[in-house]
Amino acid sequence: MVNALYDANERDAAQRRSSGAIGVDPRKFHRVDYKGRHFDVQGPLDVPPLPQGRPVQFQAGQSDPGITVGARYAEVVYTSQPKLEDAIAFGRANGLSFIMNSFHSVIGESDADVARRLKEKHERIDYEQGRLKLADMLGGEIDLSDLPLDKPLPETLLPEVSSVNRRRGRVDVFRRYAQQGLTLRELIIHA
Amino acid sequence: MAGTPEQLADAIEERYRHGILDVLSLHGFGNPDQEDLLVNGLLPELRRRATIDTDCLGDDFRSNLELPSASVAEMRKTA
């Protein structure tokens, strides 16, 4: 559906004039009228045609249907494997162009500087908010408000990944952290 | 991940060499001091190692990733 919408409009359907205004030629926008089992889509795509035709297509999400769609259509797959060994074991699907990660860093000029920055960052964390955020990362159905910060989470509290119907990849990541014995404080720092 | 520009470049390079990482979004822009260490620390270190290019390859994201840019007509055939 996304491809059909981008392909339908002609490349010169909207052009910037020398005055700076954008000229639009309605005859060069073409309707996509689609009725299917899951989608009803009407009308032309109302964004200016892109120089590259179709935008680079990303897939994110770790559910099985999401991964299947990614393997078929995506040019870049956004994924998260917190441990290098797991990521190497997981590998890359045949023909998949690119794997993308989000790189969150604390950069310092020396080891001591990095340690100081990390310490300051951790001191700024609001752990009461952090309890809520971590509970959300773990599917949102658990209550972490009365647990001690410096002890691991009780195993019985952790939801089964299959029982959560959103952002399962993230639930899985935090479940594994918790099973490794990270304390509530450490988990909140990761969240 | 926390470290000096060299340590972070090591971590990025290791993942790239294992073939499990191609595209990164960097975070920390807007925080002047981290931005400085990203722009003047990490990126030059990655360029020095030839892990990233020194300039953009094309005018749009698709060409910078060296993804095929078929014409709309060609794309229609494969849609």
Tell whether the model's pLDDT for residue A37 goes beyond 90: yes
pLDDT tens for residues A56-110?
Answer: 989 887 777 777 887 788 889 888 777 788 778 777 766 677 889 888 899 999 9
Burial class (CB in 10 A: 0-12, 13-18, 19+), A160: exposed
In chain B, the residue whose alpha carbon lies closest to the alpha carbon of A98 is B22
Q: How close is the nearest chain A Cα to the Cα of B31, in Å?
A: 11
**Cross-chain Cβ contact B20/A100 below 8 Å:** no
Least confident stretch, A16-20, A66-70, A175-179: A66-70
Give residue A87's pLDDT: 79
Q: Which residues contact A25 (CB under 8 A, 6 or more apart)?
A: A12, A13, A14
Q: How close is the nearest chain A Cα to the Cα of B13, in Å?
A: 12
B4 CB neighbours in chain A (<8 A) are 107-111, 113-114
**Cross-chain Cβ contact A109/B37 below 8 Å:** yes
**A86, B10 in Cβ contact below 8 A?**
no
Q: How close is the nearest chain B Cα to the Cα of A144, in Å?
A: 26
Between the CA atoms of A109, A114, A120 and A122, what dihedral angle is there, to the nearest 10 degrees?
150
Mean pLDDT of A137-165: 89
CA distances to A181, B30, B43 from A176, rounded to whole Å, are: 9, 32, 32
A85 CB neighbours in chain B (<8 A) are none
Tell whether the model's pLDDT for residue B72 goes beyond 50: no
Mean pLDDT for chain A? 88
Least confident stretch, A73-77, B12-16, B42-46: A73-77
**Cross-chain Cβ contact B75/A54 below 8 Å:** yes
In chain A, % of residues over pLDDT 70? 98
**Cross-chain Cβ contact A102/B20 below 8 Å:** no
Tell whether the model's pLDDT for residue A149 goes beyond 90: yes
**Cross-chain Cβ contact A107/B41 below 8 Å:** yes
**Cross-chain Cβ contact A106/B34 below 8 Å:** yes
| Closest partner CB to A99 (pick from B20, B26, B60) | B20
Quickly count: other Cβ atoms within 10 Å of residue B74's Cβ.
12
**Cross-chain Cβ contact A90/B20 below 8 Å:** yes
What confidence tier does B79 reach under pLDDT thresholds 50, 70, 90?
Answer: very low
Mean pLDDT of A38-42: 90
Tell me the three state secondary structure of residue A41.
strand
Please tell me whether the interface predicted TM-score (ipTM) of this complex is above 0.85.
no
- Kindly write down the DSSP assignment for every residue of A13-74, as one continuous string: SEEE-TTSPEEE-GGG-----EE-SS-EE-S---SPPBTTBSPPPEEE--SHHHHHHHHHH-
A3 CB neighbours in chain B (<8 A) are 75, 79
Return the domain boundaries, chain B: 5-78
Nearest CA to A101 out of B67, B15, B6 is that of B15
Mean pLDDT of B6-22: 93
**A25, A14 in Cβ contact below 8 A?**
yes
Least confident stretch, A11-25, A156-170, A177-191, B32-46: A156-170
